């Protein structure tokens, strides 16, 4: 379910909550209080509307955090403060940043409505306590029902949202008073101003960086105390130099659409613009082949790498022809693979081409292409991450020994399910990673065995 679907259903739940509350208030006030108990107090429209709005907010929060989620796996926890920021930064993930902001914004209405409705609760520590208890209940329920992760960051964000909301209430409350107190006015807005300044600073820092973010950087450090680490590779302890490369970088929507038109045109198809979907990191195009089969092309924003899929694949069996035949089938799709690319076939019935340095050790193409061939002599799946690159300038990089020491400290990303018992390093070599601004940065690729399974660990070298 997309975030738009979640937001839509959450709002529906909020409206439903208002309707249910309106019915209950009407029943209680007009039937029980007025008719049966002969009560004389009048029900104010303002207070009733605010109470219904508060209940609607409760329904929306419960819908977004619990009711609209499906149970999956076992209960998970993330007890490291600010780990969501590291993940959003090193994954360069707009959805993760968006979720952080939404978790803050979600509790702002409670910080405003509760002190408006209940004067006895007009204290920042009381609002903080209420939001803390509320978010702890939500996070604990998510953990027990497996409908989310018990995350310290979510608790911090929800409480911050409540404090920001209370600050907004108190700011207006002071303005409506007889005394103008500049210090208190500024203090009331301080949580909001600090939050805006922090996110603006993160954005400005990223924009000011000469290079982008290497998404292979570790997010949370792995506890190595109970992991047996061994090494058979010869490691240099001298800092080295490596070239930086530049790719075409971020593509415009005009370039992406032109590429999609050209790709489909080469196979006698045309994209259906009504089905085109634009996402955070790329655009998906859909078309029908001359034979009537549904096709999908997903073009990424960076360097226009892409995936191609022919949905008729389920009607056929996979085949494993030789390199020459694979190149011919790719050529029929208009896909040119560098002659120097190394060919290999994997156990998953996929064919792979890796761009390698020329005899002088420099790169002109970088990346890999994976594809699947089928028994009708066509390729129905392609993931093309090969891009043209251009030398930029040399950069000083850390030594192989320094990179190995990062592994020893648990500063790496592990594809294996944690915890693991043994990690053995077999060899190390220089590789490249594309950062979030389209530059190729040098990194060390360690060939390892983790609990007996071969795995590559990448350590950024700059």
Q: Contact at 8 Å (CB) between 448 and 457?
A: yes
* Distance (Å, whole) CA 369 – CA 300: 14
Q: Contact at 8 Å (CB) between 85 and 157?
A: no
pLDDT for 458: 94
* Distance (Å, whole) CA 162 – CA 134: 11
Instruction: For residues 30 and 151, state if they share a domain.
Output: no
Q: CA dist 354 to 78, 316, 345, 375, 410, Å?
A: 36, 27, 11, 24, 29
Tell me how many domains the chain contains.
Answer: 4
Instruction: For residues 239 and 250, state if they share a domain.
Output: no
Instruction: For residues 55 and 81, state if they share a domain.
Output: no
pLDDT for 235: 93
Q: What is the domain-level CATH number for residue 287? A: 3.30.310
pLDDT for 294: 94
DSSP state of 421: S
Instruction: For residues 238 and 312, state if they share a domain.
Output: no
Domain span at residue 424 reads 228-245+392-460
* Distance (Å, whole) CA 170 – CA 172: 5
Instruction: For residues 400 and 364, state if they share a domain.
Output: no
Instruction: For residues 282 and 232, state if they share a domain.
Output: no
pLDDT for 1: 44
pLDDT for 205: 94
* Distance (Å, whole) CA 283 – CA 298: 6
* Residue with token string 């979640």: 6
- Percentages helix, strand, coil for the chain (3-state, rounded to 5) are 45, 25, 30
pTM of the model: 0.78
Q: What is the domain-level CATH number for residue 416? A: 2.40.128.690
Residue 85's CB: how many other CB atoms inside 10 A? 16
Instruction: For residues 49 and 130, state if they share a domain.
Output: no
Terminus-to-terminus CA distance in the chain, angstroms?
A: 38
Residue 223 included in any domain: no
* Distance (Å, whole) CA 106 – CA 88: 19
Q: Which of the listed residues 390, 418, 436 is the one where a domain comes to its end?
A: 390
Residue 371 included in any domain: yes
Residue 107's CB: how many other CB atoms inside 10 A? 24
Q: CA dist 22 to 37, 241, 327, Å?
A: 20, 70, 68
Q: Contact at 8 Å (CB) between 442 and 458?
A: no
Q: CA dist 122 to 51, 111, 163, 180, Å?
A: 16, 10, 12, 19
Instruction: For residues 257 and 314, state if they share a domain.
Output: yes
Residue 214 included in any domain: no
Instruction: For residues 59 and 90, state if they share a domain.
Output: no
Instruction: For residues 348 and 317, state if they share a domain.
Output: yes
Count Cβ atoms within 10 A of the Cβ of residue 442 and give its class: 0-12 exposed, 13-18 middle, 19 or more buried.
buried
The DSSP code sequence of 145-179 is: HTSSEEEHHHHHHHHHHHHHHHHHHHHHHHHHSSS
* Distance (Å, whole) CA 412 – CA 406: 7
Residue 95's CB: how many other CB atoms inside 10 A? 13
Instruction: For residues 263 and 379, state if they share a domain.
Output: yes
Residue 219 included in any domain: no
Q: Which residues contact 112 (CB under 8 A, 6 or more apart)?
A: 165, 166, 168, 169
Residue 140 included in any domain: yes
Residue 220 included in any domain: no
Under-50 pLDDT residues of the chain: 1-2, 6, 9, 29, 31, 33
pLDDT for 33: 47
Instruction: For residues 406 and 313, state if they share a domain.
Output: no
Q: Which of the listed residues 345, 361, 390 is the one where a domain comes to its end?
A: 390
pLDDT for 280: 78
Task: Residue 436: name the closest of 257, 101, 206 by CA.
Answer: 206
* Distance (Å, whole) CA 135 – CA 112: 17
Q: Which of the listed residues 330, 362, 390 is the one where a domain comes to its end?
A: 390
């Amino acid at each position: 379910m997309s975030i738009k679907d979640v937001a839509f259903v959450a709002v529906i739940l909020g409206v439903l909550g208002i309707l249910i509350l309106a019915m209950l208030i009407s029943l209680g006030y007009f039937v029980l209080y007025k008719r049966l108990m002969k009560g004389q107090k009048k029900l104010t429209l303002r207070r009733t509307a605010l109470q219904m709005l508060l209940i609607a907010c409760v329904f929306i929060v419960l819908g977004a955090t619990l009711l609209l989620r499906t149970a999956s796996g076992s209960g998970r926890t993330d007890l490291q403060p600010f780990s969501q920021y590291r993940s959003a930064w090193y994954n360069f993930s707009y959805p993760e940043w968006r979720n952080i902001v939404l978790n803050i914004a979600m509790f702002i209405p409670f910080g405003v409505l509760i002190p408006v409705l209940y004067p006895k609760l007009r204290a920042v520590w009381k609002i903080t306590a209420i939001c803390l208890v509320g978010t702890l209940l939500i996070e604990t329920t998510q953990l027990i029902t497996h409908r989310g992760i018990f995350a310290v960051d979510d608790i911090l964000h929800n409480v911050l949202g409540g404090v920001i909301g209370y600050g907004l209430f108190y700011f207006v409350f002071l303005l409506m008073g007889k005394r103008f107190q500049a210090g208190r006015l500024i203090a009331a807005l301080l949580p909001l101003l600090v939050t805006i300044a922090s996110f603006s600073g993160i954005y400005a820092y990223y924009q000011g960086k000469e290079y982008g973010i290497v998404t292979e950087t570790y997010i949370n450090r792995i506890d190595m105390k109970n992991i047996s680490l061994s090494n058979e590779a010869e490691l240099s302890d001298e800092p080295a130099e490596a070239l930086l490369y530049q790719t075409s970088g971020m593509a415009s929507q005009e370039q992406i659409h032109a590429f999609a038109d050209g790709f489909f045109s080469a196979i006698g198809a045309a994209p259906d613009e009504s089905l085109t979907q634009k996402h955070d990191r790329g655009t998906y195009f859909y078309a029908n082949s001359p034979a009537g089969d549904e096709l999908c092309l997903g073009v990424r924003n960076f360097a226009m790498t892409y995936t191609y899929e022919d949905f008729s694949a389920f009607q056929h069996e996979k085949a494993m022809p030789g390199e020459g035949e694979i190149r011919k089938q790719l050529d029929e799709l208009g896909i040119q693979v560098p002659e120097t690319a190394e060919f290999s076939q994997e156990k998953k019935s996929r064919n792979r081409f890796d761009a390698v340095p020329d005899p002088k050790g420099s790169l002109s193409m970088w990346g890999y292409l994976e594809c699947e061939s089928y028994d009708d002599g066509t390729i129905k799946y392609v993931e093309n991450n090969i891009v043209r690159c251009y030398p930029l300038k040399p950069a000083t990089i850390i030594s192989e020994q320094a990179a190995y020491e990062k592994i020893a400290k648990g500063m790496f990303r592990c594809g294996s399910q944690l915890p693991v018992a043994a990690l053995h390093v077999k060899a190390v070599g220089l590789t490249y990673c594309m950062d979030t601004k389209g530059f190729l940065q040098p990194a060390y690729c360690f060939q390892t065995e983790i609990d007996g399974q071969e795995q590559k660990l990448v350590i950024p070298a700059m």
